[in-house]
Copies of this chain bind each other. A is one copy, B any other.
Amino acid sequence: MDTWMRFMSGDGEIVFGRVEGGYLHEYQSLDRRVPTGEVLSTRALTPLAPCAPGKIVALWNNYHALAAKLDKPVPAHPLFLLKSASSVVGAGHAIRRPVSYAGKIVYEGELGIVIGRRCRDSSLEEAEAAILGYTIVNDVTAADLLGENPHFPQWCRAKGFDTFCCIGPAIVSGFDWQAGSVVTTLDGVERQNYPLADMVFSPAEQVSLISQDLTLEPGDVIACGTSLGVGSIKDGATVAVTIAGIGTLSNTLVGTQDAAAAMVAGAANAA
């Protein structure tokens, strides 16, 4: 079980490495996992999202319990959309309400798969070996936009706004997802608590099948989809997604009136 994190140092440099006992053992990059020899106290560092994905593949309808509730058949191939690379923020960073959108914003607590090596048409075994580790994703969604246009469901727009992909706090290698669960709280009240073993496509199946569609690169993230208990976030509310063994990903939704202040505060924390 290795824990990988990414930080901004005091002088504005981005550092990546393995965290142990309050210290970061720096590595060249997620792609080139070679130790640099540097060891830094994490106290002096600002956490960022643990990776900077080029692609974020977000699954829909990947839990049996949710499929049953929606009364939809379980899919034969992962159903996915792409979230924009510009939507990523780390743990503790504000989710900003878009200036142009006054509607409902919902949280979706999810397991995230982080790719460690390039995958194309990968077998299940190759896919398993290509998973660097697991992280937590809050797949934030401007829910009213999904069906706003009756002729075209706006998945990419509704889920692609800046700050709408919270990822963190860490990537944990060797995490036993089959025994894990996702617990989401809204201002401290539990709203989601579902077992990862209820997934339709296992992580290795997702990586293998999706690698037939598009080449996955180191640092790319697959958000495994959510299950029961999705709900709306009021401006000012805090969503905390916990997966025991990985950590807690906590983010607060900031309304447009506070957004200017949050942007200034968040600038130092940007990926």
Asked if residues A61 and B151 are in contact (CB atoms below 8 Å), the reply is: yes
Q: Do A152 and B82 contact each other (CB < 8 Å), given the known contacts A161-B213, A214-B161? A: no
Smallest CB separation, A58 vs chain B (Å): 9
Stretch at the interface among A40-48, A84-92, A167-175: A84-92
Cross-chain contact B162 with A79 (CB below 8 angstroms) = no
Q: Judge whether A156 and B153 touch: CB under 8 Å.
A: no
Complex interface: chain B residues within 8 A of A161 (CB) = 213-214
Copies per assembly = 2
How many of A's residues come within 8 Å of B, CB to CB? 39
CA distance A78 to B84 in the complex (A): 16
Which of A85, A98, A162 counts the most B-chain CB atoms under 10 A from its CB?
A85
Chain A contact residues, CB within 8 Å of chain B: 54-55, 60-61, 72-73, 75-76, 79-87, 98-100, 120-121, 149, 151-157, 160-162, 212-217
CA A72 – CA B87 in complex, angstroms?
Answer: 30
Does B160 contact A79, Cβ atoms closer than 8 Å?
no
* Residue of A75, A81, A121 most packed against chain B (CB within 10 A): A81
Give Cα A82 to B155, complex, Å.
10
The contact of A160 among B75, B157, B213, by CB within 8 Å, is: B213
